Structure 1
Amino acid sequence: MTRLLVVVGALIALLFPAVSSAQEVSDEAPVRVEVLHDADGWSATFHFPRDAQGWAFPRSNRARRQDTGWRELSWTVATDGVSLQRIDETDVLLADDGGALPQEVTVRFVPFADDLMADYDPALQFTDGTLALFTGHFSVMPWLRDTQEMAEDGPVVEMIFRDADGPLLYQGLPYDSATTRDDSTYVVFGDPQPISTDHLTAIIDPQTPAWLRREMLDFLPQTFAIYADRLGERAGGGKPMVLSSWAGPTPELYSQGGSVLPGLLTVRLEGEGLVNESTQALQGMRWFIAHEGAHFWLGQTVGYETDADAWIMEGGADLLAFRLIERIDPDYDAGTTLANKWQTCLALSVDKPLAGASERRDYDANYACGTVLGMIAEGAAQKNGGRDFFDFIAALVAANREDAGGDGVVSVDDWLGQLVAESGDEELAAQVKAFVYQGTEDPQGDLCAMLARVDRADPGCAAVAH
């Protein structure tokens, strides 16, 4: 997931009565959570299958602006004798007398539509009253009072969402209620007006600045049509969804951000810096949507094995985004941005193998060096008669997608195998592998040499002979 300036949450998906769970299936009866919106406001009633010392919320990240637990700003326990306590960095429901927690607990809440640190927004609020709730924040695990920690496993959590005002949306369709065990999606309340094309469904806040809304309505359909055409249909069925909210013209702020979930892309826009049309804002919006949209294929249709391989997905999504924008807007030139990627990669690669970037928290290396290696792959594809990086990635996706007989994972060996298939150059693949796993004292010299083998060069490679 990528962030631009301010962070963002994630939004909607729908279907009924239940979708696949992000948790392991347990033989124990599930925890049931009934989330209701009615004339009295919002409530969540937890039905626990057994007595426990407490129930903890695994997702208890702090609110970014307030720097405190967000539930204490939003939730009020309505059940007598029960309180919500924050223990270290975990929110926990506990009995006030220190005994077992009742098997039914109700909390009332005001949806918290603000940014969290390293997690999805609990709610996304639209100016027309539409609101989306993130399912994962209702998931719980047994709390062990003696050790002051969560149990290692517990029952699955089944969530039921209802709106007394009418149907709600789950996976893009209206239902009277939605039941799910999926803790990585959003459920939408209200009466939004979705925009639907052959390749996506989108809800764009009606108060989004007119110029930006117009550009999104033009850019989004083209983006997903091109991705589907060049990379094949995304796995998972249905159309991807985009949910874009507008938080208003906050003074002295320019914020474009969002997140990607299975089949769902959210965008959160805020600040006076977006009110008037500008090239910076336009290109920021385009790049964010194009990068995150690429993850529906490179990240979801196929994934990666470990964090050591994150460069395949993040650098790949970067280069796909650049090439897509160039296709849609002939006046766009990614050259300066790609040159910056090159310099960032060089700075983060001296004696540092790319496979260790995530462990070192050199996350920018995954994006920058992944993009540079993508340019090598692109050159190989072009030597083999391809047009651009899309052809390299399309072949990788087609060979490894689970719904076509693959394992659903793109490994470094898979990536290198495709490089050899395109270039016929085993030595090139060995050089890339050494860069990934061993590092180099001279990243510029080594990367320039690799680019030269596919008849490509960065401006910094002038001294390298072809």
Structure 2
Amino acid sequence: MARIVVMVAALFALVFPAIATAQDAPDEPPVRVEVVHDAGGWSATFHFPSDAQGWAFPRSNRARRQDSGWRELSWTVETDGVSLQRIDETDVLLADDGTVPRKVTVRFVPFADDLMADYDPALRFTDGTLALFTGHFAVMPWLRASQEMAEEGPETEMAFRDAAGPLLYKGQRHQTVTTVDDATYVVFGDPQPVSTGHLTAIIDPQTPAWLRRELLDFLPQTFAIYADRLGERAGSGKPMVLSSWAGPTPNLYSQGGSVLPGLLSVRLEGEGLVAEDASALQGVRWFIAHEGAHFWLGQTVEYETDADAWIMEGGANLLAFRLIEQVDPEYDAGAQLANIWQTCFAMSVGNPLAGASERRDYDANYACGTVLGMIAEGAAQTNGGRDFFDFVAALVAANRKDAGGDGTVSVDDWLGQLVAESGDEELAAQLKHFVYRGTDDPQRDLCAMIARVGRSGPGCAMVGD
């Protein structure tokens, strides 16, 4: 039977453009949005602080399967004289004439499906639990004359209420939730969280039994190992995991999700995940380990610019492989790492790694970041370290804000740690050239670099040959 494989593992919180809000203009009152679930269904009432020709939703990415704006599929404007329109790639609340009323009510059906390069608007669980993403209610003024969104606008304050009972927000139950955090989920319903020393998880009760067992076993191990090897993650409270099951959709094997500050969402779907097999097991483990790594590489420390994304994505890749090897001694990442090296070779000919995001060669950040991570791992091992965890632990410790650092890891920080481990200034210079200037022969140059730390990479001649 044909099987469609869908992998969505994105660190949107790091790549989604920042929205200029009233945080830059503290005297401007906020937009207030009241999101309510009651016997009549779901509604969002917007209270606008000023007149505007329209109000735009900065997060208007298309629905992946439908290839259209998702709000037009699930939102209905109740307020007379106002309509929801899609202008180019932006959803906008527009008045039929003049300015938008100060109060606008929308009825909606939570949209629990994938978006392109953004978080699912809703995560639906089979026991009736539902999580809503806060950021999709944030708005900015719309300029009708130029047909574009204003560069600055008021902050959006969101208030959530469920007539059926309390809400779960950042691991705690509340009767109502009011927040300006536009990068998290609010949970409606009566879920039964699983709590360990390192995390709180809500796992859909209809998740296939083998997957549920794996999640309950592997998630705590993942966060415990990361905390033990990398230090405690920054931020208050335990991280939350929301894992939903979208059912045994025919001809589909899909494991996706994303990471937010203090929260990991997982969306599992497809008949390809109903029965346990080795490929599905390792896929699920790798996905969780990669995304879990971002609580350290991505949140405890961040990258400086898009040109440095390889530090986080490649770093999370290699940490995931090493973590699974620690949990399962029979696991062998060799074939996957060999493919990663070949991908890096192919994508690097004449292309500096620092330009990958701008070129939209996102796979280069993952692949070449992993390759450079293996070079750093070799350097750490020459200095008495066990593996890549030791390199990352030192990097995080030196730069985390709660220990006096600036909270970011730049390429210079990364290279400085490489020199501290290897004592090899020339190696750092070669690697910096690869990142910023590129090479016409990446296989030759990367193989030479890893040989300097006494190792060989897939596709390279063994050291001493």
Q: CA shift at 1:7, angstroms?
A: 4.1
Q: Is the 8 A contact 1:9 1:120 kept in 2?
A: no
Letter in 2 for 1:422: E
Q: What are the within-5 Å matches in structure 2 for residues 16-415 of structure 1? A: 23-25=21-23, 26=25, 27-96=27-96, 98-415=97-414
Greater relative CO (CA pairs within 8 A, separation 6+): 1
Give distance in 1, aligned partners of 2:352 and 2:64. Answer: 32
Q: CA shift at 1:451, angstroms?
A: 1.2
Q: CA shift at 1:460, angstroms?
A: 2.2
Q: CA shift at 1:441, angstroms?
A: 2.0
Give distance in 1, aligned partners of 2:20 and 2:323. Answer: 31
Partner of 2:16: none
Letter in 2 for 1:134: F
Deviation string for 1:227-256 (max 9, x for gaps)?
A: 001101111121111110000001111111
| Mapped pair 1:5 → 2:2 | no
Pick closer, same or farther for the CA change 1:412–1:243 going to 2, 3 Å. Answer: same
Q: CA shift at 1:148, angstroms?
A: 1.5
Aligned length: 453
Larger CA deviation: 116-125 vs 452-461: 452-461
Partner of 2:455: 456
Larger CA deviation: 261-270 vs 451-460: 451-460
Give distance in 2, aligned partners of 1:353 and 1:178. Answer: 46
Give distance in 2, aligned partners of 1:232 and 1:443. Answer: 34
Give distance in 1, aligned partners of 2:451 and 2:406. Answer: 33
Q: Is the 8 A contact 1:8 1:120 kept in 2?
A: no
Larger CA deviation: 37-46 vs 444-453: 444-453
Deviation string for 1:265-311 (max 9, x for gaps)?
A: 11100011100011111111000000010000001111111111111
Give distance in 1, aligned partners of 2:187 and 2:124. Answer: 10
Give distance in 1, aligned partners of 2:307 and 2:336. Answer: 24
Give distance in 2, aligned partners of 1:313 and 1:411. Answer: 10
Deviation string for 1:108-132 (max 9, x for gaps)?
A: 1111111112211111100000000
Q: Is the 8 A contact 2:337 2:458 kept in 1?
A: no
Q: Is the 8 A contact 1:449 1:464 kept in 2?
A: no
Q: Is the 8 A contact 1:230 1:390 kept in 2?
A: yes
Q: Is the 8 A contact 2:380 2:391 kept in 1?
A: yes
Q: Is the 8 A contact 1:69 1:86 kept in 2?
A: yes
Deviation string for 1:371-419 (max 9, x for gaps)?
A: 1111111111111111110000000000000111101110111111101
Q: Secondary structure at the match of 2:303?
A: coil
Letter in 2 for 1:93: L
Give distance in 2, aligned partners of 1:9 and 1:22. Answer: 23
Q: Is the 8 A contact 2:202 2:241 kept in 1?
A: yes
Give distance in 1, aligned partners of 2:304 and 2:358. Answer: 15
Q: Is the 8 A contact 1:10 1:265 kept in 2?
A: no
Give distance in 1, aligned partners of 2:387 and 2:20. Answer: 35
Deviation string for 1:63-116 (max 9, x for gaps)?
A: 1222221111111111122211222221111222x1111111111111111111
List alignment gaps of at least 5 residues for structure 2: 13-18
Give distance in 1, aligned partners of 2:146 and 2:317. Answer: 44
Partner of 1:14: none
Deviation string for 1:167-190 (max 9, x for gaps)?
A: 001101100000000111110000
Q: Is the 8 A contact 1:170 1:187 kept in 2?
A: yes
Give distance in 2, aligned partners of 1:230 and 1:402. Answer: 18
Q: For the aligned residues, what is the CA RMSD? A: 1.7
Give distance in 2, aligned partners of 1:9 and 1:423. Answer: 32
Q: Is the 8 A contact 1:9 1:268 kept in 2?
A: no
Give distance in 2, aligned partners of 1:8 and 1:395. Answer: 26
Pick closer, same or farther for the CA change 1:8–1:333 going to 2, 3 Å. Answer: closer
Letter in 1 for 2:217: D
Give distance in 2, aligned partners of 1:463 and 1:127. Answer: 52
Q: CA shift at 1:465, angstroms?
A: 3.6
Q: Secondary structure at the match of 1:460?
A: coil
Q: Is the 8 A contact 1:316 1:371 kept in 2?
A: yes
Partner of 1:16: none
TM-score, normalised on structure 2? 0.95
Give distance in 2, aligned partners of 1:251 and 1:261. Answer: 30
Give distance in 2, aligned partners of 1:126 and 1:86. Answer: 29
Give distance in 1, aligned partners of 2:323 and 2:263. Answer: 19
Pick closer, same or farther for the CA change 1:212–1:43 going to 2, 3 Å. Answer: same
Q: Secondary structure at the match of 1:418?
A: helix
